[in-house]
Amino acid sequence: MKKLATVFVAIVALAFVACAKKATPDEVKKAYAKLVELQKAANPAPAVEDPAVKINGDFAQKLQALQTAQAEALKAVDDDLAKAKDALPKAKGKKAEAANAAAAAKLDEEFNAKKNEAAQGFAPQFAGLNKAKADALKAAADAKAKAEADAKAQADKDQAAYLDKAVKDRTTKAKVDCQLKAAKLDDFNKCK
């Protein structure tokens, strides 16, 4: 008789458990969202530096160095012009001064052409630097977009796995309600 009573109690307990109200997929998704929220709060991700900031800083230094080199090249041309003008003979008289002024104007014209040539010599380097910067920024943006897409795909996969497990485990509404009320990750994990 005792055996029969034990079997009866076991059957009633199984029937009670089997008849417990199951959580809907929407409720399980809400519980998963709560789990993700609690996990982020418990283990915050470190702040990620935007790669564009680093790239812009690196290229600003390279641009500054190139501008300095260009300024030095132009200064060297100006120094040569000053030396050439100093080398002109000192004029006495109106004819000599006019000849000196013409020679100085010719030197100015000649050295302006040299300055333009020196400046144009740096143009391909500036263009190359700007192209390299644009390519680096595009690559960084593409890498960031890919990482975000991969993270989203992984999150979707994890959510689907959580939902499948909840369906297979026949998660009850009471457990989901407990999980939704949890304020900490430990409280969430304690729900039965």
Judge whether 57 lies within some domain: yes
Residue 39 lies in a domain: no
28 in a structural domain: no
Residue 20 lies in a domain: no
Q: Contacts from 109-118 at CB under 8 Å and sequence distance 24+?
A: 111/77, 111/78, 111/80, 111/81, 111/84, 114/77, 114/80, 115/74, 115/77, 115/78, 118/70, 118/73, 118/74, 118/77
What pLDDT is stored for residue 15 in this prediction? 46
Residue 16 lies in a domain: no
pLDDT in tens, the chain (192 residues): 566 566 555 565 544 445 557 777 788 788 888 878 878 877 777 777 788 888 888 888 988 998 998 989 888 888 887 888 777 777 677 777 777 777 878 888 888 888 888 888 888 998 998 999 999 989 988 988 898 899 899 888 988 888 888 878 888 888 888 887 888 878 777 888
Range of the domain at 144: 51-151
d(CA 105, CA 102) in angstroms, rounded, equals 5
Output the DSSP codes for 26-69. HHHHHHHHHHHHHHHHHSPPPPPPPHHHHHHHHHHHHHHHHHHH
- Return the SS3 of 164: helix
Return d(Cα 111, Cα 85) in angstroms, integer. 11
Question: Using an 8 Å Cβ cutoff, are 182 and 34 in contact?
Answer: yes
Q: Is residue 121 part of a domain?
A: yes
Q: Is residue 126 part of a domain?
A: yes
Torsion sign over Cα 52, 54, 57, 63:
negative
pLDDT at 146: 92
3 state DSSP class of 22: strand
pLDDT for res 11: 62
pLDDT at site 107:
80
What is the rounded CA–CA span in Å between residue 32 and residue 39? 10
Domain count, the chain: 1
What is the pTM assigned to this prediction?
0.60
* pLDDT given at position 164: 84
Whether 23 is covered by a domain: the verdict is no
